[in-house]
Amino acid sequence: VHLAAPGTQIFTTQPGGVYAAKDRFGYDITGTSFSTPHVAGAIGLMYSVASPAFANAMTSDPANAALALKSMLLG
């Protein structure tokens, strides 16, 4: 596992100001729609602290910059 994000047994807010791992119909709260924001946040944080050289690479060659960022994240 390179980056852990929730996918099952997710506690989230429910009507009435409570937290639960099941929705109001009794179904488990699961799925990538809950884990995606965690991964996107990690990548956003990495972009926010980029060095000037990496910031230049992001504008001049965004595809390779994204691959480099992925490599850093997985490393």
pLDDT digit string (tens) for the chain, length 75 residues: 778 888 888 888 888 888 888 887 888 888 877 788 888 898 899 889 989 998 898 899 999 999 998 898 888
Give the pLDDT confidence score for residue 62 in this predicted structure: 92
Q: How far is CA 43 from CA 1, 16, 24, 46, in A?
A: 16, 33, 32, 5
Instruction: Residue 37: name the closest of 28, 45, 29 by CA.
Output: 45
- pLDDT the model gives residue 60: 95
C-alpha to C-alpha distances, 30 to 9, 35, 66, 74, nearest whole angstrom: 6, 9, 28, 24
Question: What is the structure's pLDDT at 63?
Answer: 94
